[in-house]
Amino acid sequence: MTKKILFSLLALLAVQAVAGNKLNLMDSLTSLRHIERERILEFTLTPEGVEEVLLMKDGDRLYWRHALNLMWPVTVNGRSSKVLESALARMLGDETTSLDQLLKQFDEAVPNFELKPSQIKQIKSIGTLPDIISSLISYDVYSLSMVDADGSLYVFRVGNSSYGSGAFHGMYGCNYVNYFAPSDKVLELSDLVRVADRDALSRVVTQALMDKEWVTTVEQLRADKGYFIDDLVPLSDVFYCSDHCLHFVYQPYEIACFAAGIIDIEVWDFLLEDAGLLTPLGKRVLTK
């Protein structure tokens, strides 16, 4: 028993040391700029429509929030990358290809509120907003963080949460940018695995999900775990790399109910290699 406890403590210390080394590596090889911006607009209802107000006023008000919280990579491995900047900007903005364009688009964004006088007359207070215009209470928040780094591969997570259109609850999701510094390249899924054989890849992903959920059949995934899948788990376009693993990420409602949250299916590199699905670059990135 004593040996088991000692072994467990040594293993824990080793994991903490590796994690600490990774954090030190992330700090030493990257330069990150913290960008935090928030726009909270309130609106007063008038007989002519919606009048924007930037200060608190009496009367009925509508609410719109737009926010960014970014840990933006200025340099990676001591150099800047237009390829990485463009990939992150496109993911965070609407057809933006640089940080400057992204911030300009954010500063100029306005809510699209369209109200008719007949709708406004129904409103006596913020609590009596008719369903038809309940989307006027809304928010949209984006975040960016670096979640992994090993000196070659850098993984960035883009998160989004929003509410609008009178929904019963807000919505959230995430995406990833996998940047391979030695080639100054943002990785596509096809760079890592042979996506032409989609059925073979889906079978590996499906098996990984069954292993995660401790079941042996797809029917059990549906009946016992509540997944929305037929024969195989569909391939997700959202993925990220970690030590010896390729993660396929699914948003709420994509393959399960909202309460299941974001689903992360972890596929080990040796499973992909045994199936003949790893590309040469995939072996280089995942099989370290």
By residue range, what is the domain housing residue 68? 29-186
Do 202 and 91 belong to one domain? no
268 within 8 A of 260, measured Cβ to Cβ: no
List b or e across 78-116, with b for residues whose CB sees 16 or more CB atoms inside 10 angstroms: eeebeebbbbbbbbbbeebeebebbbeebeeeebebebe
Cα separation, 160 vs 140, whole angstroms: 7
- Give the CATH number for residue 243: 3.90.640.20
Do 159 and 203 belong to one domain? no
Q: What does the pLDDT read at residue 287?
A: 81
pTM equals 0.79
Predicted confidence (pLDDT) per residue in 5-60, tens digit: 454 444 444 444 444 555 454 555 678 999 998 887 665 555 454 444 333 333 44
Do 155 and 80 belong to one domain? yes
DSSP state of 243: T
Q: What does the pLDDT read at residue 56?
A: 32
Do 218 and 79 belong to one domain? no
Do 47 and 174 belong to one domain? yes
- Give the CATH number for residue 43: 3.30.565.40
208 within 8 A of 239, measured Cβ to Cβ: no
29 within 8 A of 21, measured Cβ to Cβ: no
User: Considering the domain boundaries, does residue 6 fall inside one?
Assistant: no
> Into how many domains does the chain fold?
2
